[in-house]
Structure formats: structure tokens, C-alpha cells
A and B are shown apart, each in its own frame.
Chain A
């Protein structure tokens, strides 16, 4: 399994979307999300450029976007106030996942028109459907048009 989970977390560390591709119990999810948020979000608070980001800015300019966590890797990227975290196996291609995150954000942008956190909150199931279109045990559908048509 390439991708293990996809998480959207806002700056305050609240989960906005959680999709797991293997079975994880509720308690484990809570613990895991807490740990990951602490690991990935903490350093970026000290970024000098808070508030001046545009979509497409990744915290990777200052810090590496890959974090090793337990027995897998978390690839993460920050768009505005949302962090997109993807947990992958250790031998998964990190850069490809980074590209995937970007593609996904573009897709959402395409659908919602300048997507923001509220869009995701109020249309969570749509985001889920989009994610399902793109990820099934890995990464499949690329073109954003297909999703929009299917809505």
C-alpha cells in the first residue's frame, strides 16, 4: 500500500479531513494525528513568513517536507492555513506524493474556485469523493475535469 492516510489539518491542529486506507481504530487515529500534528506543524510556526503565503507556497522552502514517523513517512505541504499531510510507506516516492498533493489542491481549486478551509468544512463529502476519484490504493485519476463532471 503506497498511501496509508490523507489528513487535512488547519493551523490550530484541528483535523479537517481524515481518510485512512487501512484500518485504524479511533483511539489510534487520535493519538496518531496528535503526534503527527506536533511533529509537522510545530517547526513551521516559527517561519518568518507567516501570513504572507499564497496558495502554492510550501513550508518546504525552509524545511524539508518529509518527516519520518514510526515506520512510515509523512509527506506534508502547507497551503494557506491548511496542512495537507499524506502518510506513505517508507519506500514510496516522496516527491511524487508532493506532486499529488499539489494536484489535489489544484483539483479542489478548480471545483470550488479558490478553495479555502470553509469550503472543505462545508463540503466534506465532496472532497471525499474527489479524493476517492484520485486515490484508490495509490494514485489513479489525474485530470480534474473528470471529477467535476462526475459531481
Chain B
């Protein structure tokens, strides 16, 4: 072992190599010991740095043994992340050593290569390709070549091959002899190669790989089953693998390897939904396996297959459910319990009753020691919730949250909040109950869901009139509890409670108590933003009380003078009480005497005093929100006081009285405007001022726009789009050439425009952004503008005695939910395309189902050719079927589609259409529009697959 004279000096600061270093290279064992000598982080990193610099030197040695040891050490370091692979080019020496005739070296090199090849080192792959080719080709010495080719196959099956599709494509032919031998490694490698470059590898490798399924060697068939299981995994389309069904069926009935059976079941699980006859075929063997297999892994796989792929076969499902229940009751094995819960979660809506039967077990699992089991149980619980049992389940869950650890408690609370709040509280029928549940949740020990609870408290207040009394009552219990003020997680809840109490103060039983609660000394613990809400709430309450007082006075005008005199007298009395007030014990002493009548002058004076003493100091506050509101409040209080002082000096009673009355009344009207929920679409409903001309400035963009649109603007194809007559009616108004160009541009790129609306001549009948929905005055308009959420569970009898109160729901909420599903559009991948191509050409032994499906596919193609009127349509068929599922469900706009397909920017245009269409329908009539979206929503997911499946069944 000698040191190369060519070796450059190592970059790392290392002492000059000693004689020992040069003569005796350290082995991997030495390295490991060296690394363990100093376990501290610093010691380790210096050791690694030193070792790396050594390796750097050694790896350039011409001697293969030195190089191999260096590579071994580097592999060790990099595989445990001591050294990042990218910065130390492991790949090059590895590829050098791959050519070594000595097997251990070769093996080391292959290991290094499979661990280190990654996209960054792809430039080196052509070097490796030749060597791999050589190693894969059969040579004379059988034993040696077997080992060598095994190594080469290993590399091909490693992630390196997936990163290098070229490598895979070049070597596909070399795999053939190994595949025909039935080598499991070759099969695994072939699967990897096919996945890496489907277009090149599928024509060569697919048939031999399929032949391995029928191999008499169980290792080969097992490997092949695993390979097809991998190839048909979800991102890929399983349909092209349907012709393999007979071979897989054979394996299912004859194989004794659990691993193979599991893989086969997985493939069938994907194929069965595509072909109903297949499902009928495999039910029996699967049930047999289910009934007699002793292996839990296989049993569970059978359960999963039955529940997900064969839901129509009742006996099989019952058997699977029975097994799943056995899993559930496995006391000593949490794994089985977990899987049992998982199995229940797979049950479709048809078998909801079964899940309900297991409710006790599931509820028990909520208290399991294992967090996975708890989470799964919670998931199942949430799945069970419907309108009838929501009170039971949610109540049970919230009480359970109190007993759980903080993390899970919040999982529970979050899930309950999400379930109850879903789609504007569609499951909740008793809002009094729900409001008290919300407050219970807020009080629950580990609650960290304050934001959501606060939001929902306010939201319920805005939307559900009938819930307001209970809401105010519950808010009171939150506000008067001084213990809650210190919990910063609850601030959003307290803020909401304060807002609710102020806004719906007319439902408050005891305003004095409320004011005291809102001004209690511990409120200083609250963040400033919440204090601001508190002060504003006090403002509302005091205004309300004064107004009530004044109204009462004016009812019996005789008592006016007496009352006001009393006011002034009482004022002096309360002056004397100011000192103890500051000390903070007013809650204890005063309320008892105020309880009788909150609107008496006494209580009002008391409140005013309290406000002055507690809010006054906030004048020093440096938070503007608080400062401003405090000043407002104090200002108002001073006005009232001034009136009293005037009274004392016995000036004209009547005039001043009417003045104060006026003042209070005005304040009251300021606050009495009802605040309604704001639609998500509120922005677009804001009507534009008449004198604003948007086109004026946009016209300057003319040049750019016309440049962009030269071709399409000359064609008339855009015109008969799905837009109704309303927009067309507008066209003449924009008669200028530039405007028409602009309008076409708008049609094509509508996505980037704000919705039109201001030019339409239909009256804008929407509420404005914050339109006060005054339910008392115009009930009918409320009906018109908002949809009350309808019960969704048709057919079932509602247990609830109480009729569900009206929930204000704007059409905006529907808009969102209907738009969501369009996001997950399935994609055709290249693999399934390539596989399908091969299978179609495939001329195998006559198998009825294969032929049928082949013919069927031709049938599709023929249909497409004859059905589509133009050839372009045919070209776009795939995109149509897959990319835009909604198009086929709306035949009315089909013609415009065909014409549009000449347009290079077709996809743009289509995407634009969806939102526009929706907007129009929601303009036409809200109720209708809403229904349409619901329907479209439900049909969407099925559409893209439908045509293909149907044709396979022919």
C-alpha cells in the first residue's frame, strides 16, 4: 500500500501524514473505533473531518485495494450522514471499481453506487452503463456471473435507476435473459425500469414480466405479484392491468405464500372496481382465505380488499366485519385493535349501522394508551355523527376531552368544532345546546381552540337569531369568571363573549353585573385588542341602559323631575363611595342593592362611576384602539353627567331633559343596527360608482392586447360561448373596436379579471358588503337574500322536538364548497398509457376476458372516431375525458367545445368558463343556483372514469 505521488494536499487542516498513515491504511473497523473514541459532537466532527481527508487521499490511489477500503469507509460515513454524498464524489470511484474483476470490490462498488447515485451525479451514468451491460450479459462461469449479475440487477432496482431513465432504457434488453430465468431480482429491477421509463421499457419488458406471474417458481411469481402491485399503485391507472386478471386469479387460488397473496389481493383491490365480473369471481377465494388463514397480515389484507373493493357482496362483507370485530376486541395486541378500527373506517355508508354497533368499543378506544388508536377512534366517532346523535356524541367527546392529555384533548375539540361548524352548522338543530357546548369547550382544561370557539360564538350570534338569548347567557358565565382572564388561550373566546354581550345586550338579565364583569380589575391581564372589545361592549351596555331609563321616564312624564332629582342626589352619595370602588371590592358590596332594577337611576349612576374609575386610567394607555374607545366611552359618560350637573343648578328641566333623551336615543340608534354575516362574495357585490369608467385607462393597453389576440380575435368561434344573452346585450354598448377586443380578451382570460356586473342592466339586488339584515323590519327580504340551511337527512325522522331555528346562510358559502372538488382532477400517466399500448397489441393465448376487453378498447377508439365530428375532437378526447370531467355532464355547451378545440389556448378558455358560469347562475336565482352546484358537486368525481369502465364491460 503506497501513497500516490500524484495525490494533492488535502484541503482540510490535517497534520502532515505520518509514516503510519501512509504505510498502514486504516480499515473500516479502525474508523468505527476511531469515531467512537470521542462520542462528543465536537470530537466526532473532527474525527469525521480527519477521516474524510484521509479517504480523499486514499481514494485516488491507483491500487484497487486501497481504493476499495477508502470507498468502503466513505460509504459508511455517507450512509450515516456524517458526510454529505454530494460534496464527496462517491460515484466516480465507485464506477471505477465496478469494473474490478475481484468480487468483494465489485460488491462494495455496487453498494456505494446504489447508495450514492442521485440526480446530481447523473453525468457519470454513461460510464456505468457499459459496465452494467457487461455484468448483465451471461458469461461462461455460471456461479460467478450469477453473483455479478445479481449485483448489477441490484443497482438497477435501486433509486439510482429511477433517477436515470436513460440507463434503464439502455439496459432493458439485458434484463430479458434474467427475466426468463425467473430471477426475483430481475423482476424487481424490471419493475423499477418500467416505472422509470415506461415508453422505452414497456414494449420490451412487460410481456416477459407478465409471463413470470405464471411461473412455477414461487419466488418468481411472488416477485412478479409484488412488481405488478407496485406498478398498479394509485398514481397509475390500474385499468391496463385488467388482462392480467386470469394469471393473478391463478396465483390467488394456488399460491401458498402469504406475501404473494397480499400483493395479489392488493392488485385485485384496484382492479375489482373496474370490472364487476371480476369482483364476483374473486369473492369466493377471498372469503376462503379470510375464513381459514391463520396469518393476521393476510386476514387483514382480505378484510381490506373486501371492504374497499367488494362492498356489494354482502356475505363477504359480513365475514370481513366479523373478523374486524375480532381484531377490535384483541385485548393484548394494540396493533390488531388499531387495524380493527382502521377496517371499520373503510366501511361504506351502507354499513353505517355496523359502525354504530361498535360505538361502545370505539368510545372505549378513545381512552386507549396509544395515540394512534385514540386518533383512529376519534376519526370513526366523527364519521358517525349525524343530525340525530350529534348531541350525544359531541357531548360525550367534550367530556372525554377533559380526561385526555392536552394534545388529544385539542384534537377532540378541534374535530367537534369542525364537525358542528361544517357547512354553516348544518348538523346542529338545537343551538341553545350548541352554544352551551361551546362554552363548555372553552372551559375545558387544555383548550387551545380559543380562536375557533370565539369565531363560532360570534358567527352563531350573527346567523341564528334564536340562539342569542342563550348566547348572552353563556357569555355571562364566561365573563364573570375571573379565573378565565389569566388564561391567554381563552382570550379570543372572552373577546367573542364580550362582543356578543355588548351587541345583544337587550337579552341580558342584569346589565349592571355585566358592566362589572367587563370592568373587573383582572381585565388588565387581557391583551389590548381584547380590552378594546371589552370597552366597546361597556359602551353598548351603558347606552342601552340609559336608553331604557329614558324611555321609562318618558312613559310616565310626571316622574321625570323626581327621577332626575334623584339622579343628582344619588350622585353625591356615590361620590363618597369612590374610594372603596378603586380598591376593587365593588363586585361584592354593590350588586346586592342593584339587583332589583338595572335601569333605575341608582344602577346607572353606579355604572357610570365604575366606568369613570376603571376606564379613566386608560387615558394613559399607549394602544390606540383602547385609548380611542376609552375616550369615546368617557366622553359619553361625561355628557350624561353634565346633564345631571345642570339639573342640580335647576335650569330649565324640560329642555335639558329632552336634550339628554335625544342624546341617548341617538346613541342607541347608532348601536341598534343589526350586523349580519358577510358573504365571501361581498366584494364583487359592491356596486361601482356611476362615474367611474374602467375602460378608459385600459384602452391604453390596446396595443398589447391586440398583439396578443391577433388570431383569435379575427375568428368568430369565440362568440357563441356559454354566456347568455345578458353579456351579448352589452356588446353593442362597447361598440369601439378596442372595447370588443378587450371584451374578447376578458372572455379568454376572465380568470384574471374582476367579474363583470356593473354594466349589466339587471338591478343589483344583493345586499352590500355589510348590509344590515334587519330581520324585524323586513323579514321577507331576509328570506329572499339568504338561504336557510335545509335538513340534509331526508327520510329519517328527526328526534329533535324543537324545530331547527333559521340559520342565515349566504350563497357565498355554497360557492366555495362547490368549487373545491374540481381541484382534484385525475391525471393520465405515461406508464399506464404505455402499458395499455402493449396490452392491446398483445396476442396471448385465447382468454375470453382479455379479448373482450381488447375489443372493448378498440370499441372506444372507434366510437371516438365516429362520434366526434371533427378530427381535432378526437385528438383532444383524452384531455376531455380526464382533464375536464365537468364538460361531459353539461351537454349544452358541447358544440362550443368542438369549435374551441382549434384554439391553441383551449385549456385557458375552459378554466375561465367554470367560474363565469357559476357566477351567472347565482345571479339568475339563488335557490336554483345552489341546487345546481350541489348536483354538479356530487356527480363530478364519477364522471372521468365512467366512459372507460363502461366500455370494458361491453
Q: What is A's interface to B at a CB cutoff of 8 Å?
A: 1-2, 15-23, 25-26, 29-30, 43, 60-68, 89, 91, 93-96, 98-99, 121-122, 124-125, 128-129, 132, 136-142, 150
B159 adjacent to A132 (CB under 8 Å):
no
Which residue of chain A is the closest to B223 with respect to CB atoms? A140
B226 adjacent to A23 (CB under 8 Å):
no
A91 adjacent to B266 (CB under 8 Å):
yes
B159 adjacent to A21 (CB under 8 Å):
yes
What are 20 sample pairs from A and B whose C-beta atoms fall under 8 A apart? A17-B80, A18-B81, A21-B158, A22-B159, A23-B159, A23-B162, A43-B371, A60-B334, A60-B335, A62-B334, A66-B372, A91-B266, A94-B335, A96-B259, A124-B80, A136-B153, A136-B188, A136-B189, A138-B223, A141-B219
Chain B nearest CB: distance from A27 CB in Å?
A: 9
A-side interface mostly = mixed
Which residues of A are found within 8 Å of B297, using beta-carbon distances?
93-96, 98-99
Chain B nearest CB: distance from A33 CB in Å?
A: 8
Given A125-B111, A136-B185, A137-B191: A17 in contact with B334 (beta carbons within 8 A): no
- Answer yes or no: B570 CB below 8 A from chain A CBs: no
B262 adjacent to A64 (CB under 8 Å):
no
Given A2-B229, A136-B188: A65 in contact with B335 (beta carbons within 8 A): yes
A140 adjacent to B184 (CB under 8 Å):
yes
B226 adjacent to A26 (CB under 8 Å):
no
Which residue of chain A is the closest to B84 with respect to CB atoms? A26
A61 adjacent to B300 (CB under 8 Å):
no
Chain A nearest CB: distance from B766 CB in Å?
A: 42
Chain A nearest CB: distance from B186 CB in Å?
A: 10
B76 adjacent to A124 (CB under 8 Å):
yes
**Complex CA–CA separation, A2 to B189 (angstroms):** 14
Among all A-B residue pairs, the 3 with the closest Cβ atoms: A95-B297, A136-B188, A138-B226
**Complex CA–CA separation, A150 to B295 (angstroms):** 30
A64 adjacent to B373 (CB under 8 Å):
yes
- Answer yes or no: B898 CB below 8 A from chain A CBs: no
**Complex CA–CA separation, A66 to B338 (angstroms):** 9
Given A23-B163, A61-B332: A125 in contact with B188 (beta carbons within 8 A): no
Chain B nearest CB: distance from A132 CB in Å?
A: 5
Which residues of B are found within 8 Å of A96, using beta-carbon distances?
258-259, 262, 297, 301
Which residue of chain B is the closest to A14 with respect to CB atoms? B80
Given A23-B118, A136-B188, A140-B226: A124 in contact with B79 (beta carbons within 8 A): yes
Which residues of B283-306 have CB atoms within 8 Å of chain A's CB atoms?
A: 295-297, 300-301, 304
Which residues of B612-637 have CB atoms within 8 Å of chain A's CB atoms?
A: none
Which residue of chain A is the closest to B334 with respect to CB atoms? A64
Which residues of B323-374 have CB atoms within 8 Å of chain A's CB atoms?
A: 332-335, 337-339, 369-373
Which residues of B are found within 8 Å of A20, using beta-carbon distances?
159
Mask, B59-97, CB within 8 Å of A = 1, is 000000000000010011001110011100000000000
B85 adjacent to A26 (CB under 8 Å):
yes
Which residues of A are found within 8 Å of B859, using beta-carbon distances?
none
Q: Which of B28, B147, B219, B230 contacts A150 (CB 8 A)?
A: B147
Which residues of A are found within 8 Å of B372, using beta-carbon distances?
63-64, 66-68
A2 adjacent to B81 (CB under 8 Å):
no
B188 adjacent to A138 (CB under 8 Å):
yes
Which residues of B are found within 8 Å of A89, using beta-carbon distances?
233
Chain A nearest CB: distance from B419 CB in Å?
A: 20
Given A2-B229, A140-B223: A125 in contact with B300 (beta carbons within 8 A): no
- Answer yes or no: B540 CB below 8 A from chain A CBs: no
**Complex CA–CA separation, A4 to B62 (angstroms):** 37
Q: With contacts A61-B334, A122-B32, A138-B230 known, what are 7 further pairs, Cβ within 8 A?
A: A15-B80, A62-B370, A64-B337, A64-B370, A96-B259, A138-B263, A140-B226
**Complex CA–CA separation, A64 to B373 (angstroms):** 7
Q: Which of B81, B107, B233 contacts A26 (CB 8 A)?
A: B81
- Answer yes or no: B837 CB below 8 A from chain A CBs: no
A64 adjacent to B79 (CB under 8 Å):
no
Mask, B253-264, CB within 8 Å of A = 1, is 000001100110
Chain A nearest CB: distance from B235 CB in Å?
A: 11
- Size bracket of the B interface: 35 or more
Chain A nearest CB: distance from B314 CB in Å?
A: 24
- Answer yes or no: B179 CB below 8 A from chain A CBs: no
B29 adjacent to A122 (CB under 8 Å):
yes
A136 adjacent to B184 (CB under 8 Å):
yes
- Answer yes or no: B154 CB below 8 A from chain A CBs: yes
B80 adjacent to A18 (CB under 8 Å):
yes
Chain B nearest CB: distance from A49 CB in Å?
A: 14
Chain B nearest CB: distance from A76 CB in Å?
A: 11
Chain B nearest CB: distance from A48 CB in Å?
A: 11
Which residues of B are found within 8 Å of A17, using beta-carbon distances?
79-80
Given A124-B76, A150-B147: A64 in contact with B188 (beta carbons within 8 A): no
- Answer yes or no: B227 CB below 8 A from chain A CBs: yes
- Answer yes or no: B456 CB below 8 A from chain A CBs: no
B226 adjacent to A29 (CB under 8 Å):
no
- Answer yes or no: B192 CB below 8 A from chain A CBs: yes
- Answer yes or no: B222 CB below 8 A from chain A CBs: yes
Chain B nearest CB: distance from A42 CB in Å?
A: 10
B185 adjacent to A29 (CB under 8 Å):
no
B188 adjacent to A137 (CB under 8 Å):
yes
**Complex CA–CA separation, A62 to B191 (angstroms):** 38
Which residues of A are found within 8 Å of B755, using beta-carbon distances?
none
- Answer yes or no: B868 CB below 8 A from chain A CBs: no
Chain B nearest CB: distance from A65 CB in Å?
A: 5
**Complex CA–CA separation, A139 to B187 (angstroms):** 12
Mask, B10-28, CB within 8 Å of A = 1, is 0000000000000000001
B233 adjacent to A128 (CB under 8 Å):
no
Q: Which of A22, A62, A132 contacts B369 (CB 8 A)?
A: A62
Chain A nearest CB: distance from B103 CB in Å?
A: 10
B29 adjacent to A2 (CB under 8 Å):
no
Which residues of A are found within 8 Å of B334, using beta-carbon distances?
60-65
**Complex CA–CA separation, A60 to B339 (angstroms):** 13
Chain A nearest CB: distance from B93 CB in Å?
A: 15
- Answer yes or no: B212 CB below 8 A from chain A CBs: no
**Complex CA–CA separation, A61 to B157 (angstroms):** 35
Which residue of chain B is the closest to A58 with respect to CB atoms? B335
- Answer yes or no: B119 CB below 8 A from chain A CBs: yes
B300 adjacent to A2 (CB under 8 Å):
no
Which residue of chain B is the closest to A67 with respect to CB atoms? B372
Given A26-B86, A122-B29: A98 in contact with B335 (beta carbons within 8 A): yes
Which residue of chain A is the closest to B110 with respect to CB atoms? A132
**Complex CA–CA separation, A12 to B900 (angstroms):** 64
- Answer yes or no: B512 CB below 8 A from chain A CBs: no
**Complex CA–CA separation, A138 to B158 (angstroms):** 11
Max count, chain B CB within 10 A of own CB: residue among A23, A62, A128, A138: A138
Max count, chain B CB within 10 A of own CB: residue among A17, A125, A142: A125
B226 adjacent to A30 (CB under 8 Å):
no
Which residue of chain A is the closest to B226 with respect to CB atoms? A138
**Complex CA–CA separation, A21 to B154 (angstroms):** 12
Which residues of A are found within 8 Å of B154, using beta-carbon distances?
132, 136
B226 adjacent to A129 (CB under 8 Å):
no
**Complex CA–CA separation, A128 to B114 (angstroms):** 11
Q: Which of B72, B230, B333 contacts A137 (CB 8 A)?
A: B230
Which residues of A are found within 8 Å of B304, using beta-carbon distances?
91
Given A62-B334, A63-B370, A91-B266: A136 in contact with B157 (beta carbons within 8 A): yes
Which residues of A are found within 8 Å of B742, using beta-carbon distances?
none
B333 adjacent to A60 (CB under 8 Å):
yes
Which residues of A are found within 8 Å of B505, using beta-carbon distances?
none
Chain B nearest CB: distance from A64 CB in Å?
A: 4
